[in-house]
Amino acid sequence: MSDLVSQNLNMIFKTPKGETVHALKDLNFTLKKGELLTVLGPSGCGKTTLLNITAGFIKPTSGNITLNDKEIDGPGVERGMVFQQGALFEWLTVAENVNFGLRMKNEDPVKTQKKVDEWLEIVGLKGFGNTPTYQLSGGMQQRVALARCLINDPDLILMDEPLGALDALTREKMQSLVLKIWKETGKTIILITHSVEEALLLGERLYVMAPRPGRIHKEYNLPFASMGLKEDLREIKKNKEFSEKREEILEMIWNMEEEIMGKDN
Amino acid sequence: MLTQIVTFLIFFAVIGCILYGRRLIRTEKVDAVFGNPERARGGTHWVIVGSSFLLLIWLYYSWDIAKGFYPKSANELCQVAKVNDSLLGLKYQFPIEEREFKSTSQIKKENKNLQQILEEIQGSNELNAQQKTDLSNFIGKTNQLIPLLTNEDLLEIETKQKINDITGKINLLTENFQKPNYPFETEQEYNERKKAVDEEGGWGIVKVSAGTGSIENTIEVPLIPATKRGLKFDAAAQKLNLISDEFFKLRNHNPQFKFKIKELKNEIKSYRKELDSEDLASTYAKNIVKIARRIEFASIYPPNALDKMQDAIIKFDDAQKVAQGGLRLIDIFLFPAGTIVASGPSCSEQGSGRWLPKPSDTFNKFALMLKPSVGYKDIPLLWIDMVDVSKMIGFILPDWIADILPGEYPVHTKDGIVKQNFKGYVLKIVTGDFELFKVPVPYGHIWDSFMRVFLGLVFGIIIGVPLGLFMGLNRFAKGFFDPLIELYRPVPPLAWAPLIISVLGIDNTGKVFLLFMVSLSIMIISARAGASGTQLSKIHAAHSLGASKKQILRYVIFPNSLPEILTGIRVAVGMCWGTLVAAEFLAGTTGIGFVENVAKKYFQYEVIWITIFIMGMLGLLFDVTLRKIIDKTIPWRGKG
């Protein structure tokens, strides 16, 4: 079984004032190999906490989460992560950034060179190998981040709002790229986003999370991601079912936000 | 020669650039509200004008223009100054540059003094009536001495004759002085003078090959007249000295005066004998006799007795002024803020030319000091020495390597022969007592200063950067080392210098340690800032890419801190450089700061300016180099 399984996952933070924040409460889910999960929710619903626990950067207060039947305990190469701002290493070139993981494993530079070239071609950065990363645009930086993560051949890819900082046009292109990579590599992907459209377009499965305590509010199984592999993404957006789902989820999140505001007042 | 060319070049550059600037303004678009939009950009032509003016002011006020265009002028002005110096005493007797005759003002002064004493005596409560009468009597007699001197009828024939003699000598001198071939130098005298002039050298530092490079001062202004015109003044000055001496030996004492003053002195002497020496009357009597003596030795003459002599002196003065000719203009226009002054046997520059060294002198001195055989205080500024590699090996290997080997060091036999053994050979190697090939090693003042900064900096980096990174990543390290660093860092580095120098010595150790302290705190703070400023997402990214903690430190945190570290190095270099020079001022035997400090003690203004120049250049070199390195190594700075 190469699934990601979460059982009764709880995460409780203590603020310096002594208040307790229930970031995640009794999270149970199973993600099968090759599935693409998008997670959506208002701020403070524990999306990023979930991702950080999955990545192994923080440990849950109780419950456990396993990947391929192995409990997650600290970061690992089998779980690659793509950050919102790319988090590239500016002192390295594009190729060196992509090569970083392999270099840390002391692999043969000649072999890794070939791999790096392959991945650069897949993400559409052929010929940019020697460019310093600080000369790249935001979209190109995210492509590098994707390639850097994928070259390690992880079982699970975690994406923390990877397209959040991009302009609309680049974002659309990158969404196609994510779908393309998902199809070609068959990786399991968890993608966190703020954009309802993006969550619908890319998510084979979609969790809408709710805050205080952080929990999975509703779960969807969606056809759009598989459609997106064949069709143009803009065509899908015109789809009636797509619009209905979008309105439904938007309303759901609006209600949650209002509830929070009401509580505050 | 060079000065002349440079001066002309500057003139043409300034004029050319100003014309160019004017023309450029006409072609530029002018904004009606804001004026010329290009004005903030300056321009090379204005930079040239600015620096040319600076150089011109330097050339002018250091009297280098005078030296360049009229190299003999200082020597000639020195001779003129000699004449003025000799003439001063004689001129002083007459209302030439003064308001009154010296005799008149003397009489006025002594009359006033006598009047004052008389009033004091008469108003005194401690003197009895008899004493008052006696003392007033003395004053009256002293007063009566003056007419004996100023009466023309009493003037002795002999004195008159002597005054005529002196007047005649002055007139003769004037007459001779105006002759073109005065002072009638023979060929032999000419040759001797030329030889002496050559030996003495020119004005300022002209000959680059001269001097041994030690700290002796060169003669500012050559004393021996080098030109015909100078010789004329020199000869006249010598003559005038003799005449002046003769005049001041002359006394206008006629028999009546001699008799009267002797009588007065004796009277007062016997009067004082009868009194207690601490009696007020005795003191007054003593003061009266002092005035009488002053009248005796002041050159007081009858009002018209010296008229001819005065005319003669004025005539000579006019003649020497005429003979100066263009020299007077040079003195006025090319020796601003001061002039050449003769006092006693020597001439010197007095004014801005003294403390502002001439550019030409400075460059000549610099060229001289750059010669390894000259240098400063027998140490070159920067040179290379061939050092045997064995010496370095001996320095690096510790001597105890030989000590811990089994066996004993060789002992001499009874024949007085020392037979080497293995242990002995090892000792030779670890102490560097053998010969290998030689390599060039730089040394000298500049190198020493440079090495001190370099070593202090390197040690500071080696210890400061890892410690700073550690402190940036670890709460314990931050807390533990923070008090230590914050305790010494705010103290101005120079405040540590006396302590460190007295503990570690005035040589390199103390200075390197001081600079190490300076650079250490800067490096720690910059490395700490770099490390703690590393974005968490980068560390997470590296971690999830499979990097270990060590690898993250080496490949993520360190390169991420590089901009801060390199900026820290740049700051540290500046701080170290400033501290070093001051530390070298305090104590030491080599280094640029040491050179300046010694030069200060010997008033070698050229050397002081040279050291200032060297320090500026080296500081600039450090900064430019580091800026290049920073641009090369961290091109992403400010762009990530």
Q: What is the DSSP letter of B533?
A: T
Residue with tokens 């530092």: B205
Q: What is the pLDDT of residue A263?
A: 56
Return the pLDDT at A249: 80
Give residue-wise pLDDT tens across range B533-562.
888 888 888 888 888 888 888 899 999 899
Residue whose pair of structure tokens reads 């560390």 in the numeric block: B539
Measured between beta carbons, the chain A residues lying within 8 angstroms of B639 are 90, 134
Return d(Cα B623, Cα B616) in angstroms, integer: 11
Highest mean pLDDT of the ranges A217-231, A250-264, B119-133: B119-133
What is the Cβ-side half-sphere exposure of residue B281, based on CA atoms within 13 angstroms? 23
Is the pLDDT at B215 greater than 60? The verdict is no
Residue at A31: amino acid letter = L
A58-67, A234-243, B248-257, B364-373, range with the lowest pLDDT: A234-243
CB B440 within 8 A of CB B385: yes
Q: What is the ipTM of this complex?
A: 0.87
Q: Tell me, what's the pLDDT at B272?
A: 86
DSSP H/E element including A64: strand A62-67
User: Any idea where the domains of chain A sit in the sequence?
Assistant: 87-153
Nearest to B514 by CA among B591, B611, B418, B579: B579
Is residue A58 within a helix (H) or strand (E), and if so which, with residue range?
none
- Asked if B94 and B310 count as a contact pair (C-beta separation under 8 A), the reply is yes
Q: Mean pLDDT score of chain B, rounded to an integer?
A: 86
Q: What is the rounded distance in angstroms from the CA atom of residue B595 to the CA atom of residue B581?
A: 10
For residue B205, pLDDT beyond 70: no
Average pLDDT over residues A108-127: 83
| Burial (0-12, 13-18, 19+ Cβ within 10 Å), A154 | buried
Shortest CA gap B525–chain A (Å) = 22
Please tell me the total number of residues recorded for chain B in this structure.
Answer: 640
Question: What is the average pLDDT across B195-206?
Answer: 78
B432 touches B395 (CB < 8 A): yes
Residue B530 has pLDDT above 70, yes or no: yes
Beta-strand pair A156-160/A188-192: parallel
Indicate if the pLDDT at residue B218 is higher than 60.
no
**pLDDT for position B219:** 61
In B237-369, at which residue ranges do the beta strands (DSSP E only) sit? 338-343, 346-351
**Are A104 and B560 inside 8 Å of each other by CB?**
no
For residue range B148-159, what is the model confidence (pLDDT) as tens digits?
888 888 888 888
- Tokens, residue A255: 């209600």
**Positive or negative, the Cα torsion across B219, B220, B222, B223?**
negative
Number of Cβ pairs < 8 A linking chain A and chain B: 72
Task: For tokens 């143009």, name the residue.
Answer: A232
The pLDDT-based confidence of A262 (bands split at 50, 70, 90) is low
Q: Coil, strand, or helix at residue A31?
A: strand
Contacts of B544 in chain A (CB under 8 A): 55-56, 75-77, 79-81, 149
Contact B544 A85 (CB under 8 A): no
Task: Tell if the pTM clears 0.80, that is, is over it.
Answer: no
Contact between A104 and B545 using a beta-carbon 8 Å cutoff: yes
Least confident of A86-95, A218-227, B434-443: A218-227
Say yes or no for a CB contact (<8 Å) between A100 and B545: yes
Please tell me which residue, A58 or B113, carries the higher pLDDT value.
B113
Per-residue confidence band for B429, with pLDDT thresholds at 50, 70 and 90: confident
Q: Are A132 and B543 inside 8 Å of each other by CB?
A: no
pLDDT at residue B461, rounded to an integer: 94
Q: Return d(Cα A199, Cα A218) in angstroms, integer.
A: 13
Give B561-579 pLDDT, tens digit per residue. Answer: 998 999 999 999 999 998 8
Pairing of strands B346-351, B338-343: antiparallel
Distance CA A85, CA A136 (A): 12
CA distance B166 to B343: 24
Q: Return the pLDDT at A160.
A: 85
SS3 B505: coil
Higher confidence at residue B332 or residue B640?
B332
- The whole-angstrom separation of Cα A190 and Cα A3 is 12
What does the pLDDT look like over A177-198, one tens digit per residue? 888 888 888 888 888 888 887 8
- Least Cα separation, residue A153 to chain B (angstroms): 10
Task: Tell me which of A181-185, B31-35, B384-388, B626-630 is least confident.
Answer: B31-35
**A87 chain-B contacts, CB cut-off 8 A:** 535, 537-538, 540-541
Tell me what pLDDT residue A145 has: 87
Mean pLDDT of B496-507: 86
Please return the burial class of B158, using the count of CB atoms within 10 Å of its CB with bins 0-12, 13-18 and 19+: exposed
State yes or no: pLDDT of B348 exceeds 50.
yes
d(C-alpha B292, C-alpha A94), whole Å: 107
How far is B634 from chain A, CA to nearest CA, in Å? 7
- Segment B498-506 shows an average pLDDT of 87
Structure confidence at residue B242 as a pLDDT band (50, 70, 90): very high
Q: Classify each residue of A172-185 as buried b or exposed e, where b means 16 or more C-beta atoms within 10 Å of its C-beta.
A: bebbebbbebbbee
Pairing of strands B383-388, B438-443: antiparallel
Supply the pLDDT for residue B468. 92
Chosen for mutation from B544, B564, B637 (greatest number of chain A CBs closer than 10 Å) is B544
pLDDT at B43: 82
Tokens of B524: 């720690």
Rounded Cα distance between B235 and B183, Å, is 6
Chain A residues with CB under 8 Å of a chain B CB are 55-57, 75-77, 79-81, 83-85, 87, 89-91, 100-101, 104-105, 132-134, 145, 148-149, 152
Burial B109-129 (b: 16+ CB within 10 A, else e): ebeebbeebbeebeeeeebee
